[in-house]
Chains A and B, each alone.
Chain A
């Protein structure tokens, strides 16, 4: 009960303060229940920073990473689940091993690669390196291994080649697995802070978390409710995922934790 309150109170305070006029933000006793409904702060956040731009950047980056991960992980996962070739086990072990590498170890060379490609300070710099996914490939491999092999046999008898078998039979069947990969990617990259901080410089390429942190820096403590309005706006998609995709997210997050 205490733990649940400790989780909820800060979120309630954030919400209710964002819904008050900037002058009320310092009120003590503080407000935990969002009774007031003052949208000044929400209007201000559009004036003080280009939050539309931040939202669009975040949405674009996250959507493209998620889509890219879903497709490439499904492709690689299918091969690792169904095809045996010389070195396939070794290759899969190598893919898994890259999961252990923290992003901070590779960030300096990645930064240089991006510079060399002429992509510094672009949204593509955030998107392209994030598409290959070891964990997603692992999840999709598990998923394909759980699907029956009869379809492949039947398709082959009907004369379908490997491409047809994959794209028109197995890929559609793997939609639930791809949903898990997509939601995990969304949750991670929507909230991501470190890579955007390193790989983008100009405010027009900032994603939401980065834009909000720099907003807090600009404004000091003067307009708490404006910053908090931005924070609440950034939470809306996360809330949608929480309400509708919680099961997928839970499954994905704990998938690596199984046996």
Chain B
């Protein structure tokens, strides 16, 4: 890094320089201090208290964390979230990978542009709005999805009223909206592979699958890592889709960890429990991120 504005010259000038730095940084740093760092510390403290906002907070040690494991609804929500992440992220990455490789094949430029824009489009929509219209489409009696299934001779599926059906819809809606992001990262990665390598592989007579397995996959692995980390972090925080589509039901079948935070704090006024849940979620996010980067040192091939 080159520094151009070294504080030189008279003391007065140096002082004005310090003011300049301080004032330019102030809005960002003070804002983050108040609205990010202070709240994290607050959460850390609050997690060990019982507080309903009305009476005085009482210290209750690790009770909130014990409750996380003991409460069947909360435990179910965490299990749901982990399962959701595993399935949704796998589907999203596989789909994005497949489409990214397909779009590299020979096709007219306008068609490539059309596909790319189409896959990108859901990213500009709100998850809440998407969930609103998807909820109608997956309606059992008059939904478009069942109508199409009936056309091909499959009888109507009770999508939102059965546990597996509801979970499948939440996964579908999430992947529908987010695969474009993984796709964007992966086409970026594919575009950076030198053409000569593909040509060399073709001259050597590598077949489609061998070519993909031995050339494309290793070279795209850094992008794959980024795509999977970002997808997992987004999926772990899933809230809008299950909230709008199912409100966590039927039963607790689609309740997510973030829904537990929301319900504990703002419906039942158990602020300590909500903070503890949020912290555990953050811990899981950090662990997964760290684990993926460690794993990547063995699996990812950097050019």
A-to-B contact residues, CB < 8 Å: 3-4, 6-8, 10-11, 13-14, 26, 28-30, 71-73, 75-76, 78-79, 82-85, 91, 95, 98, 100-113, 128-129, 131-134, 137, 145, 149, 152-153, 156, 161-163, 165-166, 187, 190-194, 197-198, 208-210, 212-213, 216, 221, 224, 227-228, 231, 234-235, 238-239, 241-242, 246, 249-250, 253-254, 256-257
Nearest residue in A to B145 (C-beta to C-beta)?
Answer: A10
Question: What is the bound-complex CA distance between A13 and B31, given in angstroms?
Answer: 43
Residues on the B chain within 8 Å of A7, using CB: 118-119, 121-122, 176
Question: What is the bound-complex CA distance between A28 and B193, given in angstroms?
Answer: 48
Query: Which of A83, A104, A134 makes the CB contact (< 8 A) with B261?
Result: A104
Residues on the A chain within 8 Å of B82, using CB: none
Query: Does chain A have a CB within 8 A of B34?
Result: yes
Residues on the A chain within 8 Å of B115, using CB: 4
B4, B40, B126 pick with most chain A CB within 10 angstroms: B126
Q: Can you name 14 A-B pairs with beta carbons within 8 Å?
A: A4-B114, A7-B176, A10-B130, A84-B6, A100-B289, A102-B281, A107-B261, A145-B1, A163-B20, A194-B240, A194-B262, A216-B244, A238-B125, A249-B124
Query: Does chain A have a CB within 8 A of B213?
Result: no
Interface residue SS majority, chain A: helix
Query: Which of B2, B21, B124, B127 makes the CB contact (< 8 A) with A79?
Result: B21
With A4-B118, A198-B262: A82-B5 Cβ-Cβ less than 8 Å: yes
B118, B132, B243, B266 pick with most chain A CB within 10 angstroms: B132
Q: Give 19 A-B pairs besides A193-B127, A197-B243 with Cβ atoms closer than 8 angstroms.
A: A4-B114, A6-B176, A7-B122, A13-B137, A26-B142, A84-B1, A108-B275, A109-B38, A109-B40, A110-B35, A132-B30, A132-B35, A213-B128, A216-B132, A228-B133, A234-B126, A249-B124, A253-B123, A257-B188
B 8-21 to A, binary, CB cutoff 8 A, 1 in contact else 0: 00000100111011
Contact B132 A213 (CB under 8 A): yes
Nearest residue in A to B122 (C-beta to C-beta)?
Answer: A7
With A113-B38, A216-B132: A83-B21 Cβ-Cβ less than 8 Å: yes
Contact A161 B16 (CB under 8 A): yes
Name the interface residues of B173-228: CB closer than 8 Å to any CB of A. Answer: 176, 181, 184-185, 188, 223, 226-227
Residues on the B chain within 8 Å of A253, using CB: 123, 181, 184
